[in-house]
Chain A
Amino acid sequence: MTRYIALRLGESLIVLLVMSFAIYLLIGLMPGDPSDMLIAADPRITSADIARIKALYGLDQPLYARYSAWLTSALGGDFGNSRLHLRPVLDVMGPFLANSLLLMGASFLLSVAIALPAGVYAAIKPHSKLDHAINLLCFAGISLPVFWLALMLMMAFSVALGLLPAGGVATPGDGSFTDRLLHLILPVITLTISSIGHYTRFVRAAMIETLRQDYIRTARAKGASPARVVWGHALRNALIPVVTVLALSFGSLFSGALVTETMFAYPGMGKMIYDAIMGNDYNLALVGLLFATLVTLLGNLIADLAYVWLDPRISYASGEARR
């Protein structure tokens, strides 16, 4: 098992390395470079000054030289400074990460709390009216453009009704607990609606599969009540694939909320990455993207380990074949 984990971690490192080079290359191809703003800010600047600035930032070097310089210092723990925030990248990331975790955690709990019973009730009687209704809602949630949903919620609750704030984390000058909570409501609802459909359909599929098993028939035959069969016998086993899919989705949470966070001006990781990309903040964008990738890769690893751990019928070898 140690060998398996080591192997997977090694794989993840390779993906990260390839990814870092690809992103470095791509960001270098974006319009403008860090010297543009300095040049634009000072009309008296001469071409000799420009060359000096470019040399200072290393922009006169070829790509591979710049990348290897970045990689060397990154491996030493120095990821450079953020141009937008004028502080070391890792210091900048902290608060954004905390905000993201709060938003993600809240919407994750809410999604699971709704998806679990909804998926189970849909699975108990497949193709019943209830199942069809739940299915319809799932498809609606999956098919909603997130930014439009955010816009509509803002229109309804902030513009028309004036009940909830349209964006940010707190009212300037307030910042009390209730105030922060009010600011969380719309982003959390948006994220929940957009993710709940997938979860519910997954719970339903896993539950239907489990209810077909022989041991469920045995439980029914020995006279267990329908409720006990579903909640006592079936749910625990149906949860195995559900847990893995939740672990898998956890990674995408960091970047997946990009649209929601941007729409509600909520300073989380997604918005940070978006602003960094748009603001030519190479270092911050690079680290943000790599961090999101790392979390996804770790999420995948945890999902695979959890799968084997929860289901004794699966070994690491067949867990590997599953992919």
Chain B
Amino acid sequence: MTLTAPYALQPAQRPAHLLWRRFLRHRLAVASLLLLILLALLALGAPLVAALLGHDPNAADLLERLQPMSLSHPLGTDELGRDLLSRLLYGGRVSLAVGLAAALVSAVIGTALGLIAGYFGGKLDGLLMRLTDGVIALPLLPLLIVLAAVDLNKLGLPPSIANDESVSLYRMIAIISLVGWTTVARLVRGATLTLRERDFVRAALAVGAGPWRIMMVHILPNAVSPIVVATTLSVGNVILLESVLSFLGLGVQPPAASWGNMLTNAQETIWSAPLLAVYPGLLIFATVIAFNFLGDGLQDALDPRSE
């Protein structure tokens, strides 16, 4: 018997494969992943759907108000005669884009601060962690409302930028990231504190690796699991925040559609057209719960010791 062959890992034993198999065991997470892929494809294909149906999702047509389902309007029309299906799909683009972007930016900020605090320790660590505590203590929603309402003209931005339509999207990504990084920062700091004392890090230090190299090459790859899980879970949270802000009229500005601001108008027609209030909310709910299940499944797959 040769010693070489049995030690070669079979495909089924490769870490990525094991991970995938553990993930597949979490049926809700798999279903969620499929749902999210479907939603993403639909959102990406929104212009195509709108073009096929021949509607501009933002163009009002008062002769077509509150139409029931039909071939030309598969889900009917809203109180301004706009095609509901197209608007829902365009709204999905907003929710997914803001959710993913803000969660990623938060993850980057949190990872950077967590690595620095955990690796350098001492006064810097104390300062950064007090900052984290401070941000966590802030009344999140009222603060986001203030940040979303700030007049960009007063901030000294040129009116051409401050009054641009797409600015509300970037603004939301920015303000949610500004307060959303704390969870990842704490997780990464905790992981860094333990990893810093491990032998392979000390060995790297002994052969003269600098702090930057140690953080990026030795610590970060080993702290990826909690970052991935926390970021996936935070996408759902961000989508909830975005929908609330848009609902209150502070997020995505009409006529552009978002699931949140579609519900603002649906509130007015709750007697005559209750379904208008049902669809956007159901989509928010389905998307958020899918991200939460996905995060849960990833947690189980990435960290088999949890439970």
Contact = CB atoms under 8 A, between A and B. Distances in A.
A102 interface: no
B263 A277 contact: no
Interface residues of B, number: 44
A145 B240 contact: yes
9 contacts: A142-B292, A143-B285, A145-B247, A145-B284, A147-B244, A151-B266, A155-B274, A256-B140, A285-B146
A244 interface: no
Contacts of B247: 145, 147
B137 A277 contact: no
Interface string B274-306: 100110110011001100110010000000000
Interface of A: 11, 15, 18-19, 23, 26-32, 126, 136, 139-140, 142-148, 151-152, 154-155, 159, 208, 251-252, 254-256, 258-259, 262, 270, 273-274, 277-278, 285, 288-289, 292-293, 296-297, 300, 323
B185 to A, nearest CB: 12
Interface string B254-273: 00000000010011001100
A145 B244 contact: yes
Interface string B110-148: 000000000000000000011001100111111101110
Given A30-B150, A256-B141, A292-B139, A151 B133 contact: no
B147 A148 contact: no
A136 B293 CA distance: 9
Contact of A23 (B146, B236, B248): B146
Contacts of A148: 243, 263, 277, 280-281, 284-285
Contacts of B130: 11, 15
B151 A31 contact: yes
Nearest to B284: A145
A145 B285 contact: yes
B155 interface: yes
A252 B270 CA distance: 31
B13 to A, nearest CB: 25
B138 A19 contact: yes
Contacts of A285: 142, 146
A15 B139 CA distance: 12
A146 B281 contact: no
Contacts, number: 131
A255 B274 contact: no
Given A145-B240, A297-B137, A151 B142 contact: no
A323 B187 CA distance: 11
A254 B139 contact: yes
B280 to A, nearest CB: 8
A144 B270 contact: no
B236 A143 contact: yes
B251 to A, nearest CB: 12
B133 A31 contact: no
B14 interface: no
B307 interface: yes
A28 B271 CA distance: 39
B149 interface: yes
Contacts of A28: 154
A15 B134 contact: yes
A255 B145 CA distance: 11
Q: Which of A143, A259, A292 has the most CB of B within 10 A?
A: A143
Given A259-B244, A288-B142, A300-B133, 8 more contacts: A29-B154, A139-B293, A145-B240, A145-B284, A151-B263, A254-B139, A255-B140, A292-B139
B288 A145 contact: yes
Nearest to A208: B307
A273 B142 contact: yes
Contacts of A126: 307
B285 A252 contact: no
B270 A155 contact: yes
Contact of A151 (B138, B143, B146, B281): B281
Given A255-B139, A293-B139, A155 B277 contact: yes
A320 to B, nearest CB: 10
B277 A277 contact: no
A33 B274 CA distance: 38
A29 B151 contact: yes
Nearest to B141: A258
A147 B142 contact: no
A19 B285 CA distance: 33
Contacts of A154: 270
Nearest to A205: B307
Contacts of B143: 23, 289
B167 to A, nearest CB: 14
A323 B240 CA distance: 27
A143 B137 contact: no
A56 B290 CA distance: 54
Contacts of A26: 146-147, 150
Contacts of A151: 263, 266-267, 270, 277, 281
Given A143-B288, A143-B292, A144-B285, A289 B142 contact: yes
A188 B274 CA distance: 23
B137 A29 contact: no
A23 B147 CA distance: 9
A164 to B, nearest CB: 15
A185 to B, nearest CB: 19
A252 B154 CA distance: 30
Contacts of B151: 29-32
Contact of B139 (A143, A144, A147, A289): A289
